[in-house]
Structures are given as C-alpha cells and as structure tokens.
Amino acid sequence: MRSTRSILSAALLLLPTLILAGWAGSIPVLRADDPELRIRLIGYDPRDLLRGHYLRAQLDIQGLTQGIAMEEERVCLLPRPDDPVHPGFKPLGDDSPCSYPLINPRRELRVYQSEETALRLEALLRDGKSIVDIAVRFDGTGEISLHDIHVDGRPLDE
C-alpha cells in the first residue's frame, strides 16, 4: 500500500514536467509541415506597443476592418498572389476545406523579442515606412504560431 502510494506520488510529481518536456520537444516536429503564410504586421496601438519583451501587433488582413477582437470569430485566410503579404479572407464554414483557418483574426499578437529588437520594431511599425511581415503557421484548428520576422523583405538579423 505504502509503495503504491509512493509510486503514485512520484508519478504525480514528475509526470507534469515530463509531459511539458515532451510537448516542447514535439512542437518543432509537429509544426514543421503546417501550412504557412507570410503576413504583414500592423501596430496594435502605438502607445502600448511595447510591454516587457513582447511586440504587440495585429495581422494585416485585406478587407478585415479593425475592431474588437472576438474569440468566436473564425475566418479562412485566402492567399492573394498579387499581394502575398495581405491575404484576403472569407467566413469559415463547417463544410468547405480550408488550409489557413484562423480564430479571432483581430487578436493582439504577442511576438517575443529582445528589448532592443522590440524597440526597433516598434519604431518601424509606428513610422509605417518599412514593411514588417512575419511567417504564420496554421495548425488547422484555428490556432497559429509565429516565426521569422522580415523587415522590408529581409530577415530581422541582417
């Protein structure tokens, strides 16, 4: 009885961390084949762009009016060959297939950057003279992950 309880305690204490470690290890593998679009970023609010090390921004989706973010809003993004960083959208139906489903398209994105980089990006977004875009991966359920920011078509580090 005592040994069963001891094993149970060990499992309850160690499993959460092992599950999280497994999750972290699986993300790059599982997300590698997710469909991806490069989308332009627009500033979320110039007065409140920088908080901590997060750059706060929104996706610039063609025809989507800025407004209150709603969790229940679901759209399907439509790539536009003539303007690749400004995809269009249509409401997400239950029956039609969609490669780029997105929940809450007006959501405020949080892009983690170093403090210096975040400050630079903030200035670029505020001025509007440079084009800042980011690669968005779609997991198929409406959730997304972000990586690889470009400024005027070049990677941020250059």
Near another protein by CB under 8 A, which window of 37-45, 64-72, 83-91, 93-101? Answer: 64-72
Binder among 38, 74, 86, 110 for another protein (CB under 8 A): 110
Structure tokens at 150: 């470009």
The reply on whether position 4 binds another protein by CB under 8 A is: no
The reply on whether position 42 binds another protein by CB under 8 A is: no
3-state secondary structure 76-105: EEECCCCCCCCCEEEECCCCCCCCCEEECC
Q: How far is CA 44 from CA 18, 39, 104, 128, in A?
A: 36, 15, 14, 13
> At 113, which helix (H) or strand (E)?
none
Give the integer Cα–Cα distance in Å for 133 and 54.
16
CB of 9 or CB of 66, closer to another protein: 9
Query: Site residues for another protein, window 138-157 (CB under 8 A)?
Result: 143-147
The reply on whether position 74 binds another protein by CB under 8 A is: no
Query: Interface residues with another protein (CB under 8 A)?
Result: 6, 8-10, 12-14, 16-21, 23-24, 27-28, 31, 70-72, 107, 109-112, 114, 143-147
